[in-house]
Amino acid sequence: MKGMVIDMKKKISKRRAVFIVVWLLLIFFLLGAILILKSPPNETESIKEVMKDGVLHDRNKISLFGIIDVNPALISAYVVTAVLLVVAALIRIFAIPKFKYVPGKFQIVIEKLVEFFNDMAHANSPHKTGFISAYIFSAGVYIFFSTLFELLGVQAVTTEGHSIALPAPIADINAAIAMGFMTYTIILLGGIICNGINGGLKVLKDFSLPISMSFRLFGALLSGLLVTELVYYYISLSFVLPVVVGILFTTLHALIQTYVLATLASVFYGEAVEPKKPKEPKRSGKSKQPEAPEESTAA
Amino acid sequence: MPLNIDVVQILLHMLNFVILAGGLTLLLFKPVKKFLDERQKYFADKEKKLAEGLENNENLRAEYEKKLSTVDSEIEEMKLNAKNETAKEAKEYLNNAQEKAAAIISEAESQAEDRKEHILDSAQTEIGELVVEATQKLLETNANPDRTHELYDEFIKSMVRDVQ
């Protein structure tokens, strides 16, 4: 009898658990459906305006020390730079002096970061690596962390008094152009220093490089930004999706753009600084012909 | 400008990146790279030393194996050398002993000769004294002038015979 009673009790508790789960799922489903089907709220900015501002940054400006009104991305860039420099200084002061030949976890992360860009520079530009490895390291770290900076959603106040979340610096066309032209200038200078005017001319032939680099960065970051803006705009999509979409787009873009810019910069730099191959003397039949008559005349 | 491109902001971005790149290179990239290079050099040196040690060991092993292979013949040679050496030393010792023995014998013979001469000398003296004493006693007991003359003659004759 006792055994039967225990079995009955177990069955009842199992049914109760299933019921509670189904019930909760039903509630969540209904809540989700209500939120999704609800019409978008009356915002001060329409989606068109939000997306236009996301691309052009012509509306929301932030005052830079009261000197000039700039795009929010520039503030992001300076904030990221400040944070990165402080972190780098802390690592330099506290971590690097304690580095050991058998590394710990943190040391491995730092070493891998440096090794990754250093190896990339060695692979793509084997003739001159010193400068370009440091450059792509800095550019890579900047692009990666400044893109991830968007995830933090740091708030700032615009000149019009609105509160906005600071975007990724590279999502601003000005930042992308700055990166593209700086990279191109470095490649050009590398070509001139290593191969003289000819090297410089060789780089100048690829005049589309800075434009392609700039717009690739800008386009890639912007596409992520627009999708995220779109998702954020509709409040009904803002419960679960932003976490997935935001992190997915931002992290992927951060990784991909870091890799792409570092690879392109090192490859083009490697081509520009590659030493000229000495010309091989021509061995044609004509060059041998004059010798034969001489021999015959001598004979 | 199209797309809200602003040259001042581009330059501000460039300034920002130049500051960041310089700072990161000085604070992070170069120290870490220096450390990596040092570590690579340390392990390369260690590997080189290890390789040298292994090569030395290999050479030593080959040398000892070679020595081991010839050790039997070396032992035989050493035995033979030792035997020859011992025989040579024994021969020298024997020669020395023989020389010493000959010297001792020679010295003993010389001493015996000296002793013999000495004994003969002393015996002659003693005999002479005995003869004189006996002669004195004889003379004392048998004092006869004829006999004396006769003895003197006999003595002179015997002396003459000896001289001749």
pLDDT band at A8; cut points 50, 70, 90:
low
B47 interface with A at CB cutoff 8 Å: no
> Residue A117's closest chain B neighbor by CA?
B29
pLDDT per position as a tens digit, B84-134? 999 999 999 999 999 999 999 999 999 999 999 999 888 888 888 888 888
- Kindly state the DSSP code that residue B78 receives in the 8-state scheme: H
CA distance A110 to A114: 6
Residue carrying structure tokens 């990221």: A80
Helix axes A241-273, A130-152, angle to 10 degrees: 170
Contact, A275 vs A128, CB < 8 A? no
pLDDT band at B2; cut points 50, 70, 90:
low
Q: Give the predicted TM-score (pTM) of the model.
A: 0.63
Model confidence at B14: pLDDT above 60: yes
Residue carrying structure tokens 């002096």: A97
Contact, A172 vs A250, CB < 8 A? no
The one-letter amino acid code at A15 reads R
B45 interface with A at CB cutoff 8 Å: no
Pick the residue of A53, A65, A81, A118 with the most B CBs within 10 A to test the interface with B by mutation.
A81
Model confidence at A278: pLDDT above 80: no
Residue A163, phi then psi, degrees to nearest 5: -100, 125
From the list A58, A74, A135, which residue is nearest B21 (CB)?
A135
Average pLDDT over every residue of A260-286: 77
From the list B12, B14, B31, which residue is nearest A182 (CB)?
B14
**What pLDDT sits at residue B85?**
94
Model confidence at A39: pLDDT above 60: no
Residues forming beta bridges with residue A157, ordered by sequence position: A163
Yes or no, beta carbons of B3 and A178 under 8 Å apart: no
Contact, A142 vs A84, CB < 8 A? yes
CA distance A147 to A171: 8
% of chain A exceeding 70 in pLDDT:
79
Yes or no, beta carbons of B5 and A173 under 8 Å apart: yes
**What pLDDT sits at residue A67?**
78
Q: Which of residues 1-30 of B touch A (CB under 8 A)?
A: 3-6, 8-14, 16-21, 23-25, 27-30
Residue carrying structure tokens 């004509």: A286
% of chain A exceeding 90 in pLDDT:
22
Residue A56, phi then psi, degrees to nearest 5: -95, -20
- Kindly state the DSSP code that residue A94 receives in the 8-state scheme: I
Measured between beta carbons, the chain B residues lying within 8 angstroms of A181 are: 10, 14
Q: Which of residues 131-160 of B touch A (CB under 8 A)?
A: none
Q: How far is B50 from chain A (nearest CA, A)?
A: 18
A68 dihedral zone (left: phi>0; alpha: psi -120 to 50; beta): beta
B44 interface with A at CB cutoff 8 Å: no
pLDDT per position as a tens digit, A179-217? 888 888 888 888 888 888 877 777 777 777 777 877 787
Distances in Å between the Cα of B85 and the Cα atoms of B74, B75, B79, B116 are 16, 15, 10, 46
Yes or no, beta carbons of B27 and A57 under 8 Å apart: no
Instruction: Tell me if residue A62 falls in helix, strand or coil.
Output: strand
Residue carrying structure tokens 């070679």: B66
Yes or no, beta carbons of B12 and A74 under 8 Å apart: yes
B163 interface with A at CB cutoff 8 Å: no
Question: How far, in whole angstroms, is CA B66 from its chain's centroid?
Answer: 29
> Residue A109's closest chain B neighbor by CA?
B32
> Residue A174's closest chain B neighbor by CA?
B10
What is the DSSP annotation of A126-141? SS--HHHHHHHHHHHH
Measured between beta carbons, the chain B residues lying within 8 angstroms of A182 are: 14, 17-18
Contact, A117 vs A123, CB < 8 A? no
Rg of chain B over Cα atoms, rounded to whole angstroms, equals 60
Rg of chain A over Cα atoms, rounded to whole angstroms, equals 30
Contact, A81 vs B20, CB < 8 A? yes
Yes or no, beta carbons of B28 and A134 under 8 Å apart: no
Higher pLDDT, B129 or A109: A109
pLDDT band at B161; cut points 50, 70, 90:
confident
Contact, A170 vs A146, CB < 8 A? yes
C-alpha distance across the termini of chain A, in Å: 130
Average pLDDT over every residue of B30-55: 94
Higher pLDDT, A293 or A164: A164
**What pLDDT sits at residue B47?**
95
* Cβ contacts from A onto B, under 8 A: 117
Yes or no, beta carbons of A114 and B12 under 8 Å apart: no
- Boundaries of every domain in chain B: 2-163
Rank A47-56, A214-223, B52-61 by mean pLDDT and report only the highest: B52-61
Helices (H), chain B: 7-24, 30-141, 145-163
From the list B17, B35, B39, which residue is nearest A96 (CB)?
B35
**What pLDDT sits at residue A5?**
64
Pick the residue of A71, A135, A146, A174 with the most B CBs within 10 A to test the interface with B by mutation.
A174
Considering only CB atoms, which residues of chain A are within 8 Å of chain B? 55-58, 64, 68, 70-71, 74, 77-78, 80-81, 84-85, 88-89, 91-92, 96, 99, 101, 110-111, 114-115, 118, 133-135, 137-139, 141-142, 169, 172-175, 177-179, 181-182
Q: How far is A69 from chain B (nearest CA, A)?
A: 10
Helix axes A72-90, B7-24, angle to 10 degrees: 10
